[in-house]
């Protein structure tokens, strides 16, 4: 009798909970507005061409491989970001005229109306602190700070005139990776996995690896999914210890029990979904299932111990440590396994000259030693495995550095360093249908401003999407009542560097 | 400078390209009204004929005046100008006559017909002056300009005459539209040796041997926003390579008959030539990855069966029925899993079978995949026996055999694959000498044997430190 009462009460509560969802407001909104919108939608349907954004997202299987808009040359991307902004004037940008100005006061014409992160008053010009040579058949100028990369110069397309609006690390990194200097937009890896899913559903489509001791200044938003379903955010893996934290089952829980508990959770979520129809619930179900599969597949792919010794020597890797080299080797392994987008961040390139480690003639060179070999090895290794043609490798950063020596608070710095410089810097691409041995863009004689071939973050993003088979203007997602895209309202594909 | 020198007459003259459209439109309308008003149902149009004719007449006269002023300030083909000018004057006169006839309430039809014919001829001549006399009948301009703008690969650059193979095509695509026979801006023509040497209003265009002294080169090198820059900012510009070539040619004496190889070549120009030459034996050729022929949609149930096995199946593009299939995520692969592909024989063009327990026997299942252009069988147990079976896949462009048991013998058995452009043989038993032979046998194929190394150098292990200050 008592049980019966309790049951009845519970049912009643449940009914009321259901009814609360269907208030008068809901009725009016779903009814009136819904029908109105339906009518309007069918009237205007053909005017708003981009209604495709909803179709792309299959909530039950959000990472399933999807066809690109046109057959792209590249199938995956490895994006190497040097966080902190290495000096282009000591690596890629050969400026003999700047050497002649070394030690002279910066002319006022370069300072008028300009804002710098740290430079105050009148700084001195700082000549190139590296020796440059022309490399390969293409004659690309590279400094002696990248002796290994110099041997593969003919595989690289150099962008000489990249420019940004941001001269602080975090917003500049966000702009480069999300198309906006403010928080909240999806990162390029998220857009790509949203657009084309991944070919190996045992692994995440978008993996992030960091090195150099810190995450990039912009934090995890720089691989976030913004307003895209959260399943598209980058999955950060570690190259030391467990690749993903808590990936092992706890003591006393075997694999069958884990499977049973995930099935139970998913069942509850499925019921929740049939009630509320929130696609995020389906994403959550997919993520649980993927997490279960990843418990086996990720430790397997993230293990570099089984690579032969000559590969370790080629990349300069040391298993068990966190290093950029290890991450680069992992990136190759992940791409081999069908992962769509691998994003590397290496922190520690912010060469202000405030310490020896941050000097363009000391610390910068030591940093170069840690990346030059693995990056060169990556290009060669992808090539011999027949993967370079379909893997787009992007080397980038958030901005460049000034041709003037930094004089923080107007004082002479203990070491040679350069301040943040947004107006002109270098990036490069290779593989994935990019024409090696080309270069695009010209800067003035001291690398201060762009003369031609202006390249913005949006242009780089548009080019990456183009190589994967997407028109950057059409890969959109509706949020807050309008269609958004990675390149916002700008962006043009850099056709000069395409094969 | 230019702005100041621009006097009133020149300024008025430049309105000619806008003004000419008025008499064309208005006079056609007048002729139309005259013709229609003959019919009873349109008789009310009679009232509009007067004002239309009057406006048409005024605009025709204004066009004549502005046109005359324009012809005085710019250089065009004098023959065309002469005809255009006199037909235009005849047209204006006929419009005046027509208006007078209208005022006198006389019959207009015959005069109107004559005027319409004059209008057509004058308009066409005017168009020929601005767009070139072959504009109407030449191939579509988009197609044309594409061919011109691209650096067309040239076979045997070194053996050709420098002017004919390199310089003339540049001038033709970028200069002679304004500096040719029909239009001769600044009295400069670049359409032949004699006229190039003659120069223009400002004197010689080129100083042989001294590119930096040559007016032509100076104007090309000026900043694009400079008024003196050539070609004008809104016209197609010379590419960097083209500028390098013109500079090299002038510095080499601006000869019209010497061969390329006879003129001294810097490293810079050698690189430019290399990028222009057709000798890219290892480059991607114009084979398309995706066949142009369309194909029917693959059966949805066949695709579903593959997907249930953990095999990725995806169209190569949204509007294509051709498929990419990847076995990378399959668990417990057996030969049966390849049988599933038979249902999508026609659609399958890219097949990835990396690192799975593929056997020589199971390759038989791929026999029917005749549309296959890319095949990845790296890190499998395939031997020469299985590889020989791939010879049937005649459309293969990309074959990845790295990490298989392939030997030179096996590779020889597929040398009949005439479309093969990329062959990967990394981590096979094939020696360097054998690779050289294979490359000779497959001259169009980029044969990659891998085994690249990044040599150890002293720099790698050195550490840069701050100098010790006492």
Please tell me which of the candidates A138, A361, A377 has its beta carbon nearest to residue B271.
Answer: A138
- Pick the residue with more confidence: B320 or B236? B320
Asked if B328 and A338 come within 8 Å (Cβ–Cβ), the reply is yes
Interface test with B, best of A53, A135, A154, A199 (most B CBs within 10 A): A199
Judge whether residue A43 has pLDDT over 70.
Answer: no
pLDDT tens per residue, range A403-425: 999 999 888 899 999 999 999 99
Is the pTM of the predicted complex or chain greater than 0.80?
Answer: no
Asked if residues B406 and B430 have their Cβ atoms less than 8 Å apart, the reply is: yes
b/e burial code for range B111-132 (CB count within 10 A of at least 16 → b): bbeebbebbeebbebbebbeeb
- Chain B residues with CB under 8 Å of A315 CB are 454
pLDDT at B340: 93
pLDDT in tens, B339-372: 999 999 999 999 999 999 999 999 999 988 989 9
Per-residue pLDDT, B132: 72
Q: What is the pLDDT of residues A219-262, one digit of tens each?
A: 999 999 999 988 899 999 887 778 887 888 888 888 899 999 99
pLDDT score recorded for residue B396: 94
Cα separation, A103 vs A252, in Å, equals 68
Q: Flag if B378 and A386 touch (Cβ within 8 Å).
A: yes
- Best to test chain B binding among A384, A450, A469 (most B CBs inside 10 Å): A384
CB contact B448 to A (< 8 Å): yes
Residues B377, B353 contacting (CB under 8 angstroms): yes
B321/A contact by beta carbon, under 8 A: no
pLDDT band at B143 (very low <50, low <70, confident <90, very high): very low
Residue from the list B289, B424, B464 with its beta carbon closest to the beta carbon of A71: B289
Q: What is the pLDDT of residues A360-388, one digit of tens each?
A: 999 999 999 999 999 999 999 999 999 99
On whether the CB atoms of residues A187 and A177 are closer than 8 A, the answer is yes
Whether A389 and B450 lie within 8 Å, measured CB to CB:
no
Find the helix or strand (DSSP H, E) in which B447 lies: strand B446-448
The string of pLDDT tens digits covering residues B403-413 is 999 999 999 99
Residue A376 sits at the chain B interface (C-beta within 8 Å)? yes
Report whether pLDDT(A42) > 60: no
Secondary structure string (H, E, C) spanning chain A:
CHHHHHHHHHHHHHHHHHHHHCCHHHHHHHHHHHHHHHHHHHHHCCCCCCCCHHHHCCCCCCCCCCCCCCCCCCCEEEEEEEECCCCHHHCCCCCHHHHHCCCCECCHHHCCCCCCCCECCCCEECCCCCCEEEECCCCEEEECCCCCHHHHHHHEEEEEEEECCCCCHHHHHHHHHHCCCCCCCCCHHHHHHHHHCCCCCCCCCEEEEEECCCCCCCHHHHHCCCCCCHHHCCEEECCCCCCCCCCCCCCCCCHHHHHHHHHHHHHHHHHHHHHHCCHHHHHHHHHHHHHHHHHHHHHHHCCCCCCCHHHHHHHCCCCCCCCHHHHHHHHHHHHHCCCCEEEEEEECCCCCCCCHHHCCCCHHHHHHHHHHHHHHHHHHHHHHCCCHHHEEEEEECCCEEEEEECCECCCCCCCCCEEEECCCEEEEEECCCECCCEEECEECCCCCCEEECCEEHHHHHHHHHHHHCCCCCCCEEEECCEEEECCCCCCCCCHHHEC
- Closest residue in A to B284 (Cα–Cα): A499
Which chain A positions have a beta carbon within 8 Å of B466's beta carbon? 356, 359, 362, 415
Residues of chain B with C-beta less than 8 angstroms from the C-beta of A148: 454, 457
Q: Which residues of B touch A381 (CB under 8 A)?
A: 452
> Does residue A363 sit at the B interface (CB-CB below 8 Å)?
yes
Q: Which residue of A has its CA nearest to B329?
A: A200
Read off the pLDDT band of B14 (50, 70, 90).
confident
Rounded distance between C-alpha atoms, residue B254 and residue B211, angstroms: 9
Closest CA to A310 of B139, B265, B221, B456: B456
Q: Do A369 and B460 touch (CB under 8 A)?
A: yes
Instruction: Kindly determine whether residue A366 and residue B460, on different chains, have CB atoms separated by under 8 Å.
Output: no
Find, in chain B, the residue whose alpha carbon is nearest to that of A145.
Answer: B459
Q: Are B217 and B230 in contact (CB under 8 A)?
A: no
How far is Cα A66 from Cα B307, in angstroms, rounded to an integer? 13
Q: Is the pLDDT of residue A302 over 60?
A: yes
Whether residue B231 is preceded by a cis peptide bond, meaning omega within 30 degrees of 0, is: yes
- Percent above pLDDT 70 for chain B: 91
- Which of A64-68, A192-196, A275-279, A306-310 has the lowest average pLDDT? A275-279
> Residue B297 in 3-state DSSP?
coil
Neighbours of B96 (CB within 10 A): 14
Q: What is the mean pLDDT of chain A?
A: 89
- The residue of B332, B454, B458 whose CB has the most chain A CBs within 10 angstroms, and thus the best one to mutate to test that interface, is B454
- Which pLDDT score is estimated for A21? 63
Beta-carbon contacts of A353 under 8 Å, excluding residues fewer than 6 positions away, are A359, A360, A405, A406, A413, A414, A415, A416, A417, A418
3-class state of residue B422 by DSSP:
strand
Kindly list the residues from chain B whose CB atom is less than 8 angstroms away from the CB atom of residue A471. Answer: none
- What sign results for the dihedral spanned by CA atoms B156, B162, B165, B169? positive
Q: What is the pLDDT of residue B410?
A: 93
pLDDT mean over B91-111: 92
Per-residue pLDDT, averaged over A453-459, amounts to 96
Helix (H) or strand (E) holding B423: strand B422-424
Nearest by CB to B464, which of A338, A365, A452? A365
User: Any idea what the Cα angle at residue B44 is, between residues B42 and B46, rounded to 5°?
Assistant: 100
Q: Does residue A47 surpass a pLDDT of 90? A: no
User: What is the pLDDT, as a whole number, of residue B182?
Assistant: 78
* A431 contact B CB<8A: no
- pLDDT at residue B106 above 60? yes
pLDDT value at position B270?
79
- Which among B318, B352, B451 has the least Cβ separation from residue A69? B318
Report the C-alpha gap between A442 and A450 in whole angstroms.
6
**Is A238 near chain B, with CB under 8 Å?**
no
* Residue A314 to residue B453, Cβ atoms within 8 A: yes
- From the CA of B458, how many Å to the nearest CA of chain A? 11
> Considering only CB atoms, which chain B residues are within 8 Å of A68?
317-318
| Helix, strand, or coil (residue B352) | strand
Report the share of chain A in percent with pLDDT over 90.
70
**B412–chain A nearest CA distance, Å:** 20
pLDDT value of position B10: 80
What does the alpha-carbon distance between residue A310 and residue B66 come to, in Å, rounded to a whole number?
A: 79
Q: Kindly state whether B398 is in contact with chain A, defined as any CB-CB distance less than 8 angstroms.
A: yes
Disruptive mutation site among B279, B464, B465, B468 for chain A (greatest number of A CBs within 10 Å): B464
Query: Long-range contacts of range B74-82, CB-CB < 8 Å, 24 or more positions apart?
Result: B74/B13, B74/B185, B75/B183, B75/B184, B75/B185, B75/B186, B75/B187, B76/B129, B76/B182, B76/B183, B76/B184, B77/B129, B77/B181, B77/B182, B77/B183, B77/B184, B80/B125, B80/B128, B80/B129, B80/B133, B80/B182, B81/B129
For the residues A299-311, what does the mean pLDDT come to? 90
What's the gap in Å between the CA of B2 and the closest CA on chain A? 24
Weakest-pLDDT range from A99-108, A187-196, A322-331, B189-198: B189-198
CA gyration radius, chain B: 35
């Amino acid at each position: 009798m008592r049980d019966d009462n309790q049951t009845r009460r519970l049912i009643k509560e449940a009914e009321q909970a259901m009814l609360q969802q269907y208030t008068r407001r809901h009725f009016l909104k779903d009814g009136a507005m819904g029908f109105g919108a339906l009518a309007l939608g069918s009237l205007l349907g053909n005017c708003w061409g981009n209604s495709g954004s909803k179709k792309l997202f299959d909530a039950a299987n959000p990472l399933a491989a999807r066809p690109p808009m046109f057959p792209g040359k590249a199938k995956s991307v490895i994006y190497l970001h040097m966080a902190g902004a290495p000096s282009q004037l000591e690596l890629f940008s050969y400026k003999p005229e700047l050497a002649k100005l070394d030690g002279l006061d910066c002319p006022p014409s370069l300072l008028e109306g300009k804002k710098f992160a740290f430079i105050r008053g009148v700084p001195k010009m700082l000549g190139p602190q590296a020796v440059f040579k022309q490399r390969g058949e293409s004659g690309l100028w590279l400094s002696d700070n990248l002796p290994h990369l110099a041997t593969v110069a003919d595989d690289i397309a150099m962008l000489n005139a990249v420019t940004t609006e941001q001269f602080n690390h975090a917003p500049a990194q966000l702009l480069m990776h999300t198309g906006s200097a403010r928080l909240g937009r999806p990162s390029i890896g998220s857009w790509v996995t949203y657009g084309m899913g991944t070919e190996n559903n045992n692994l995440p489509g978008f993996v992030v690896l960091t090195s150099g001791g810190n995450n990039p200044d912009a934090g995890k938003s720089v691989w976030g999914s913004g307003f895209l379903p959260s399943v598209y955010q980058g999955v950060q893996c570690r190259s030391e210890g467990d690749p993903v934290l808590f990936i092992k089952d706890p003591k006393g829980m075997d694999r069958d029990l884990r499977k049973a508990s995930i099935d139970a959770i998913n069942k509850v979520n499925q019921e929740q979904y049939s009630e509320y129809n929130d696609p995020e619930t389906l994403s959550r179900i997919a993520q649980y299932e993927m997490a279960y599969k990843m418990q086996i597949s990720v430790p397997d792919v993230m293990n570099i111990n089984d690579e032969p010794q000559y590969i370790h020597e080629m990349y300069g890797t040391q298993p068990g440590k966190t290093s950029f080299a290890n991450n680069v080797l992992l990136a190759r392994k992940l791409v081999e396994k069908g992962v769509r987008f691998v994003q590397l961040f290496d922190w520690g390139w912010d060469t202000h000259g405030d310490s020896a480690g941050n000097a363009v003639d000391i610390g910068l060179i030591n940093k170069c030693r840690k990346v030059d070999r693995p990056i060169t090895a990556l290009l060669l290794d992808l090539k011999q495995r027949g993967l370079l043609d379909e893997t787009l490798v992007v080397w980038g950063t958030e901005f460049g550095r000034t041709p003037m020596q930094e004089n923080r608070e107007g004082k002479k710095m203990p070491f040679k360093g350069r301040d943040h410089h947004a107006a002109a810097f270098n990036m490069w691409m290779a593989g994935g249908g990019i024409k090696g041995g080309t270069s695009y863009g010209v800067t003035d004689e001291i690398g201060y401003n762009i003369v031609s071939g202006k390249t913005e973050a949006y242009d780089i993003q548009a080019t990456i999407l183009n190589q994967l088979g997407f028109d950057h203007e059409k890969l959109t997602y509706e949020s807050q009542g309008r269609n958004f895209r990675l390149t916002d309202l700008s962006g043009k594909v850099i056709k000069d560097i395409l094969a | 400078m230019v702005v100041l020198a621009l006097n009133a007459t020149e300024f008025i003259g430049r309105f000619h390209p806008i003004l000419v459209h008025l008499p064309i439109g208005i006079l056609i309308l007048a002729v139309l009204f005259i013709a229609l008003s003959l019919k009873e149902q349109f008789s009310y149009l009679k009232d509009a004929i007067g004002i239309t004719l009057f406006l048409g007449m005024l605009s025709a006269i204004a066009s004549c005046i502005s046109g005359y002023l324009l012809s005085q300030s710019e250089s065009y083909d004098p023959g065309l100008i002469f005809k255009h000018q006199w037909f235009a004057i005849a047209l204006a006169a006929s419009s005046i006559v027509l208006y007078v006839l209208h005022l006198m309430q006389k019959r207009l039809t015959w005069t109107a017909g004559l005027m319409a014919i004059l209008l057509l001829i004058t308009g066409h001549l005017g168009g020929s002056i601005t767009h070139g006399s072959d504009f109407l009948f030449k191939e579509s301009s988009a197609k044309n300009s594409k061919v011109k703008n691209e650096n067309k690969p040239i076979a045997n650059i070194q053996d050709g005459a420098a002017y004919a193979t390199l310089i003339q095509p540049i001038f033709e695509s970028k200069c002679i539209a304004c500096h040719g026979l029909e239009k001769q801006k600044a009295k400069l023509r670049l359409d032949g040796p004699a006229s190039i040497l003659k120069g223009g209003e400002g004197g010689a265009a080129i100083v042989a041997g001294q590119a930096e002294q040559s007016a032509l080169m100076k104007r090309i090198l000026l900043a694009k926003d400079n008024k003196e820059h050539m070609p004008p900012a809104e016209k197609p510009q010379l590419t960097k390579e083209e500028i390098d070539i013109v500079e090299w040619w002038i510095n080499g004496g601006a000869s019209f008959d010497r061969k390329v190889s006879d003129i001294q070549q810097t490293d810079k120009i050698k690189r430019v030539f290399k990028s222009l030459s057709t000798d890219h034996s290892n480059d991607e050729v114009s084979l398309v990855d995706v066949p142009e022929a369309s194909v029917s949609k693959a059966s949805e149930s066949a695709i579903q069966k593959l997907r249930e096995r953990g095999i990725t199946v995806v169209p190569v593009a949204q509007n294509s029925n051709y498929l990419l299939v990847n076995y990378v995520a399959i668990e417990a692969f057996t030969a049966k899993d390849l049988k599933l592909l038979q249902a999508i024989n026609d659609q399958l063009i890219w097949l990835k079978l990396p690192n799975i327990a593929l056997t020589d026997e199971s390759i038989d299942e791929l026999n029917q995949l005749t549309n296959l252009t890319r095949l990845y069988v790296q890190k499998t147990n395939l031997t020469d026996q299985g590889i020989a079976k791939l010879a049937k896949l005649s459309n293969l462009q990309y074959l990845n055999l790295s990490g298989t048991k392939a030997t030179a013998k096996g590779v020889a058995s597929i040398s009949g694959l005439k479309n093969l452009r990329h062959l990967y043989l990394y981590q096979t038993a094939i020696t360097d000498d054998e690779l050289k032979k294979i490359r000779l046998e497959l001259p169009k194929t980029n044969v990659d044997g891998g085994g690249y190394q990044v040599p150890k150098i002293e720099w790698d292990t050195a550490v840069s430190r701050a100098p010790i200050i006492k």
